[in-house]
Amino acid sequence: MTGWVTVAGLGPGADTLVTPEVSAALSEATDIVGYIPYVARIAPRPGLVLHPSDNRVELDRAHAALDMAADGRRVVVVSSGDPGVFAMASALFEALEARPGQHPDIRILPGITAMLAAAARAGAPLGHDFCAINLSDNLKPFEVIEQRLRLAARADFAMAFYNPRSASRPRGFARVLQILREECGPERLVIFARAVSTADEAIRTVTLAEATPEMADMRTVVLIGNSQTRRVGNWVYTPRRAGAV
């Protein structure tokens, strides 16, 4: 049996948002590897072994997947959203780089990432140029986050923020909001999109002046518009042209 590793995105939460390509890979797998909540989304079946693991062990997870593939197993490493957006695809290649001479069969299968699902629920806040920033300082210093926030705001990007606030990082998001108020002003629109496409979904749009750190947690994606982003009825959208009136 020839082994392989597939890194697959499960989308933002709803089973209906898992792509047919990902579903097919899951049906062929002998092993599922991933963070505990993501592996829990996979239905058990005969012949399938589930390998849930805790957070912050991405490289261990990647090496385990490569080892199993070398033994002829068909391994799917699951991520939420898209595996290439702050997720397991990069970790797998980092592990592969530490194994010179290995050339396993690897596929990366895209998924609907949280910022796109959140933007669709809100309207079209990412309708013009935008960027995505991971607000966790676990893998980079906060000084880097602050520099990127300020530069993106000065370039008038709409922005999508992942991992805004956690129990171990309760104060960083307050600083993020302060930086954004300094650079963007108090009236900039902010969307807090929590648990999009699940039963716990909650979408809230406020101004920067109204935004508080407690509005976000690790299940929340935060979207901030550019200087032209506006409301139309219950929707939020960003015009397609820079400088639109």
- pLDDT digit string (tens) for 114-169? 999 999 999 999 999 999 999 999 889 999 999 999 999 999 999 999 999 887 77
Asked whether the predicted pLDDT for residue 244 surpasses 60, the reply is: no
- Same domain assignment for residues 119 and 229: yes
Residue 238, C-beta contacts closer than 8 angstroms, at least 6 positions apart: 124, 125, 126, 127, 128, 130, 158, 225, 226, 228, 229, 230
CB distance 22 to 10 below 8 Å: yes
Considering only CA atoms, which of 70, 68, 72 is closest in space to residue 50? 68
CATH number of domain containing 12: 3.40.1010.10
DSSP class of residue 87 equals: S
pLDDT at 56: 83
Global pTM reads 0.92
CB distance 205 to 236 below 8 Å: yes
Q: Is residue 232 part of a domain?
A: yes
* Parent domain of 31: 4-112
Q: Is residue 244 part of a domain?
A: no
- Same domain assignment for residues 103 and 125: no
Phi and psi at residue 134, to the nearest 5°:
-85, 120
Phi and psi at residue 123, to the nearest 5°:
140, -105
Asked whether the predicted pLDDT for residue 243 surpasses 80, the reply is: no
Mean pLDDT of 195-201: 94
| Number of independent structural domains in the chain | 2
Where among 67, 84, 112 does a domain terminate?
A: 112
pLDDT at 1: 56
- pLDDT digit string (tens) for 11-66? 999 999 999 999 999 999 999 999 999 999 999 999 999 999 988 899 999 999 99
- Same domain assignment for residues 191 and 80: no
Residue 114, C-beta contacts closer than 8 angstroms, at least 6 positions apart: 12, 80, 81, 162, 193, 196, 221
Considering only CA atoms, which of 111, 110, 155 is closest in space to residue 133? 155
Q: Is residue 165 part of a domain?
A: yes
Asked whether the predicted pLDDT for residue 216 surpasses 80, the reply is: yes
pLDDT at 24: 97
- Same domain assignment for residues 100 and 64: yes
73 or 166, which is more confident: 73
